[in-house]
Structure 1
């Protein structure tokens, strides 16, 4: 007797889609309100490849989430990476293990964000279905030319055309990234799907807004700015420091702090430059926290007044979605996928100018009506980034990919 798993139990209308994929029968109701997965025993396996699987990393988190969803569908699923750290050192396999594990008809899923030997394993396979998940690659010109990431990302961009052309299907998390794939593919025959990203953790961030309001009432003098992401030159965090200095100066030496949360190992010299630069501005406090647990990160969202993002390139920007659920107001530069991801739920500046960031921050701090307007828009927009929506989209993609095989 097959086991039925209901991802969302609100079937108000008759189904508009029925199909099967490798022994799993799927039913989508109208507006995709219900998905019933009837699990059956089958041999197909999914093999997820990434350049690295490490804690507190957006690409790693996404790869593991998609891997676990595949397992929930009843398929065998495995993770592989040349670099594995933390819990993933045991749960993920080496790239060299793929050859002995893979079988004809299996699915290889490659998460591409930088140059990697995993890309060549993906393009070199035959008799399998190949699914490319594109997390975007930061252009090397935005990175330190002396850093490891510069060469790795140059390699990643060079690998992209062959990845797209060899994939049966490519997934991008924004239309901005989807355009990269279409351009790299160089043909109208390539298949690209845009699937907005989500994370189950976001739901828990909705408790943060109430906590922040309480903290604000207790201490309404200081201004606390937050940025989450790798501390690398492409984030242009020196602009955030200058903006903080402007806010402090315009507020009559109002106490201002800027907290940076994220990996500091990719560009240590840049981190040192930021710390030295902030030291020249005694009116502000710079806190470099490094990578944090999710509980600790939630505390930072609760403590912050404004999220600031002067980044020069973002293929999606997960922290913007986290801000929507935490109801933390956002000021960001209009670069990459940022305007698309925010969709009007934050202040987007056409120029990454410190003075403009400071002026926008001043408006947010003084205008309660503006803050409430943006909060309402965040509540509206975050509906497209729910885990339910992402699961439904991922299941559809798997179904379509496997249906091609049996057609």
Structure 2
């Protein structure tokens, strides 16, 4: 017997971010397979309220005794956790991981303490759940520290955009896409650009993503001023999908020096668009990139600058990375991820 309904639970729902896109993909796929599926949220988002149901209204939509599975996306603390712990319906987790609290304690103590609360909730959720879906083997290993649970590794779906064209200008451009947060290593990237600029004076860095910490923003802005890089570095803040495609189109190389990634959607987005990739080998990064990019064991400024210089000056290397990146990104196509979801969710017994 298979599930007649699989409902997802998420702290909040926003289209355009990795988790929001994943939630929407799963809902659309489940419905296409004839499985009832709704999105329940702990906190409403005005922009997506028509697509979600408030957590407090759960009993209006869930039929008692139905073959229903609850699927909870774990990435932060949420009132969803306590509600689900008190319910009797079968529960499974989608574990996206979360930033280690100690990384954020210096910059935003309130967020760090919320992450500590999320860790406390996770141990109870693991004990309550039947199985888990993890974005990476790294995430599965982290989850195993919170208790014994059957984990299935299913990456996030990322498709190559139709008709994407690179339109990089005359200035070599390094691109970072992601949240402007301490764990993303943006300060390390800026320091590396200072070294690279001594070798390639015209190089530019574009940092594309929403800010998460005023204190960290101030530190980044101060670092840029102190290194006299104001003319070389642009921080765009949040951008819409159309602008994001333009940013990818103008990039000569993509670089991330993040200290913690549970998967790394922008890495796959860059590879899918044939943008050469330079990254720091930590957490799930090496697993996601494979051999399709330059994955560095060190992120000292000279090492990073040297890797970026190689990509920007060696056309054969850049072309090889472009080709291998496109091939690697096909591993994460929505078609392949949908097949894996079918096997794990629709093939997982309801009794």
Q: TM bucket by the smaller chain? A: over 0.9
1:69, 1:166 → 2: CA distance?
26
- Post-superposition offset of 1:259: 1.5
Equivalent runs, 1:49-198 vs 2, <5 Å: 49-103=9-63, 104=65, 105-126=67-88, 128-145=89-106, 146-185=108-147, 187=148, 190-198=149-157
- Post-superposition offset of 1:192: 0.6
Deviation digits for residues 285-339 of structure 1 (CA, Å, limit 9, x no counterpart): 2222222211110110011111111110000000111011111111111111000
- Post-superposition offset of 1:137: 1.1
2:181, 2:101 → 1: CA distance?
11
Matched, 1:294 2:294: no
Equivalent runs, 1:5-404 vs 2, <5 Å: 21-22=2-3, 44-103=4-63, 104=65, 105-126=67-88, 128-145=89-106, 146-185=108-147, 187=148, 190-199=149-158, 202-204=159-161, 207-208=163-164, 210-212=165-167, 215-216=168-169, 219=170, 222-251=171-200, 254-264=201-211, 266-283=212-229, 284-401=231-348, 403-404=349-350
> Scaled by the length of structure 1, what TM-score is found?
0.81
> 3-state SS of the aligned residue for 2:292?
coil
| Count of matched residue pairs | 347
* Contact preservation (8 Å) 1:235, 1:311: yes
* Contact preservation (8 Å) 2:176, 2:207: yes
Please identify which structure carries the higher strand content: 1
* Contact preservation (8 Å) 1:56, 1:292: no
* Contact preservation (8 Å) 1:275, 1:286: no
* Contact preservation (8 Å) 1:144, 1:233: no
Structure 1 residues 90 and 404: CA distance shift in structure 2, 3 A: closer
2:317, 2:166 → 1: CA distance?
20
1:260, 1:82 → 2: CA distance?
31
CA RMSD of aligned residues (A): 1.7
- Post-superposition offset of 1:153: 1.4
